[in-house]
């Protein structure tokens, strides 16, 4: 556990250097530090017996995200997906360096990397927990600021893609969160599209 705490401290210190500020309940935080804390909380809530590797991944899933800005890539979905892919590899590389420094063995580092890269989603139970937690962090802390910036049709498709990545366990928690009436309307519309397709 000492090693786990040392790694978490290293991850947190790195994310505290994020120049972007996230304000929640009137308090300012370095954005990726705040989101990593909340991701960790959701992982523990979704999986109270989470493995050490899953706990580690939850604290470094988006480590250093601000270092590869979206505007370095062209507009469009294809460029967006490439950006996300490159980011994931970068998060895994930064996490690997820290985990090696702290003293983790190669096998554990490889497992953390698999979770960060979300390999075998829908098959690997821990990767699914991570995906559920990522979507829940977005819905709880970012969604209400996000949805007014997008046209309804585009927004519903974005929500549909996110909700499809979740499983039934994740959906239960998603529907238990507090939303504005308009925000909840769009979520329900996305769920209708999913149910219609099934």
d(CA 87, CA 77): 15
Would you say the pTM of this structure is higher than 0.85?
Answer: yes
Query: How do residues 21-58 score in pLDDT, each as one tens digit?
Result: 999 999 999 999 999 999 999 999 999 999 999 999 99
CA 61, 126, 144, 38 dihedral sign is negative
Helices 52-60 and 2-15, interaxial angle, to 10°? 10
What the block records as the tokens of 196 is 């219609």
d(CA 175, CA 190): 12
b vs e for 33-60, b when ≥16 Cβ sit within 10 Å of the residue's Cβ? bbbbbbbbebbbebbeebeebbbbbbbb
Three-state DSSP class for 20?
Answer: coil
What the block records as the tokens of 4 is 């786990």
Query: How do residues 124-158 score in pLDDT, each as one tens digit?
Result: 999 999 999 999 999 999 999 999 999 999 999 99
Query: How do residues 106-119 score in pLDDT, each as one tens digit?
Result: 999 999 999 999 99
What the block records as the tokens of 197 is 């397709």
């Amino acid at each position: 556990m000492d090693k786990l705490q040392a790694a978490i401290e290293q991850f947190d210190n790195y994310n505290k250097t994020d120049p972007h500020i996230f304000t929640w309940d009137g308090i300012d935080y370095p954005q990726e530090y705040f989101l990593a804390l909340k991701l960790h909380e959701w992982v523990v809530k979704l999986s109270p017996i989470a493995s050490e590797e899953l706990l580690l991944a939850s604290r470094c899933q988006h480590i250093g995200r601000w270092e590869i800005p979206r505007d370095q890539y062209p507009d469009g979905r294809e460029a967006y997906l490439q950006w996300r892919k490159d980011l994931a590899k970068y998060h895994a590389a930064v996490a690997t360096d820290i985990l090696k420094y702290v003293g983790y063995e190669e096998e554990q580092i490889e497992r953390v990397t698999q979770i960060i890269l979300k390999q075998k989603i829908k098959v690997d139970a821990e990767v699914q927990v991570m995906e559920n937690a990522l979507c829940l962090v977005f819905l709880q802390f970012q969604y209400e600021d996000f949805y007014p910036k997008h046209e309804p049709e585009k927004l519903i498709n974005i929500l549909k893609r996110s909700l499809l990545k979740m499983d039934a366990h994740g959906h239960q928690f998603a529907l238990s969160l507090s939303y504005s009436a308009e925000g909840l309307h769009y979520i329900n519309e996305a769920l209708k599209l999913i149910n219609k397709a099934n």
